[in-house]
Structure 1
Amino acid sequence: MCCHSMAACIDNSRNQTFSSNTYPCQFNKSRCTPSVTSFSSCNSIHRDGHKIPSPSKLIPHAGDEDDSEWLKIRDEAKSDMEQEPLLSRYYCSSILLHDSLESALANHLAIKLSTSNLSSETLGEVFLSVLAEDCEIKRAIRDDIKAVKERDPSCISYVHCLLNFKGFLACQAHRVAHKLWSQGRTVMALVIQNRVSEVFAVDIHPGAKIGRGILLDHATGVVIGETAVIGNNVSILHNVTLGATGKETGDRHPKIGDGVLIGAGTKVLGNVRIGEGAKIGAASVVLKEVPPQATAVGNPARLVGGKNRQEM
């Protein structure tokens, strides 16, 4: 009987939407109240059988006016709701009823990655506990979303990236998993890695270190190993592997410098360095160092361009 009751509770919790007004407030109670929105359609949203307070009565977060990316996302959400009224409920629960980008992101990731045995509420608490407290991750989230908007021509808005781009979402989930990994919470970190791999088809070991301003374009099939290090402003296309050769242990994965572009289908294998600003052509196999600002293509990869043309 206890098992049946527990199963019922789990099934019910799976469909609950995790929002800022249900987050634990141990880190800052003043941050747990959703922001103002003038859209009356948000009034009709219910959670756990209770009606959410009218948006006109909700209190804005004190720092919202300084968060230009979050304000832009909210404005874009309102514009999308006017264009597609059928999506009003979705935009309200995903964006407008949250007091911060971290709150909205934690909620969205929790819903995406939840299962019948791993509730969105549980995941949401884990995500927000990291996102709300780590200033470096907060900065990285904003640099990432700006990078996607600036470098991916298919990205029409910040809110479009936040809600729909699995490369961006996978990267942010990894940031949480990496933080947990560094704190010794390896079990939870690996659970998040596994769910991201299953849902987004992006497999990043929680031990991997990733900089800011990252674009995972399309993202399907991206694999990044445990000891890989990726710098800032790096663009990685789909089906890229930053892996090991299988012949070594310890520090065995690539080190990618700032501003590198790695084309679709590329394999960079072993503890090799890709220098700052380098470009790796699609479907290349890189087994040796690539100098800064160089271009490498082929299998095995060769440097191209004038006197620098050579096999590596």
Structure 2
Amino acid sequence: MSAPTVAGTKAEQQETSAPVRTPPRRTLTLRQRIWRERWMYTFILPGALFFLVFAYVPMLGNIVAFQDFSPFRGFARSPWIGLENFQAIFSDPEVLTALRNTLVIAFLQLIFAFPAPIALALLLDSLLSTRIKRMVQTVVYLPHFLSWVIIISVWQQVLGGGGLVANILSDWGIAGFNLMTNADTFKPLVVAQGIWKDIGWGTIIFFAAIAGIPQDRYEAAAVDGASAGRRIWHVTLPGLIPVTTLLLILNLGSILTVGFEQLLLQQPMVGADAAQVLDTFVYFRGVLGGEWGVATAAGLLKGVIGTILVLAANRLAKRFGGEGIF
């Protein structure tokens, strides 16, 4: 058998040592990428159309805030009046009353209603009996699925002039109890109704966040001698900070929306001075009173304030080391 030639050996070495070149990847155009992911976009399309039709297109109607609008003349033929509607807002005492009531109720909801689901989630998570935990969850979830008409009727039957509490106090010689018509305590009552209705629903998110906390952190804290309260303070609450920050920023965007239907139903019982908020002002002035420009200006102002609060809270969260929402 003859030995391989030197030339043949060198050729084989060059072929072996030569780098393998991969063919360049072909860059897809935008149309090709959309076609490749066409089924994903098909599923996204209904949701995108919903927000486009019911959220973004109606925003064009904010032009009414700068017009002396009339539905009979339409957008095109209604005269342009600039900032006169906004000047009318700031000079109207009813607007100032509505703004004051809105801010007070929003502040009370932020202080008491927002932390309530967190407290309930922590309380239920500390229960050892799974059966009791599920029973309590079911009971507190139920009010969320009831309408405000039913909710207020239930509260009227308990705290109204002819309700359960009034009858009990009457048997004890205390007459005239009617918390539902007391304008002085109406704002805390509104917050209490909101907590009773939605606290169970709000705990769903915090239960999921608590379930996502690694169990080895609790085990390590228990090994170090931390009590149950210390484990909640040093493990559970820090684990809830990201979702709490996210929900807080999102809630700030709608902080001036304090419950239109809830307040509209109870306004006749306590009067406009206690129950008039920006949403009910827009309804009475715009829908019923026909002052479309003033009502739209009030709604636009509320939206601008909410946007500013969201941007400021998001930037503040990032400055303190959080992730924010964008």
- TM-score band, normalised by the shorter chain? under 0.3
Relative to its length, the structure with more strand (as a share) is 1
Which protein has the larger Cα radius of gyration, Structure 1 or Structure 2?
Answer: 2
Higher relative contact order (CA 8 A, sep 6+): 2
TM-score by length of 2: 0.20
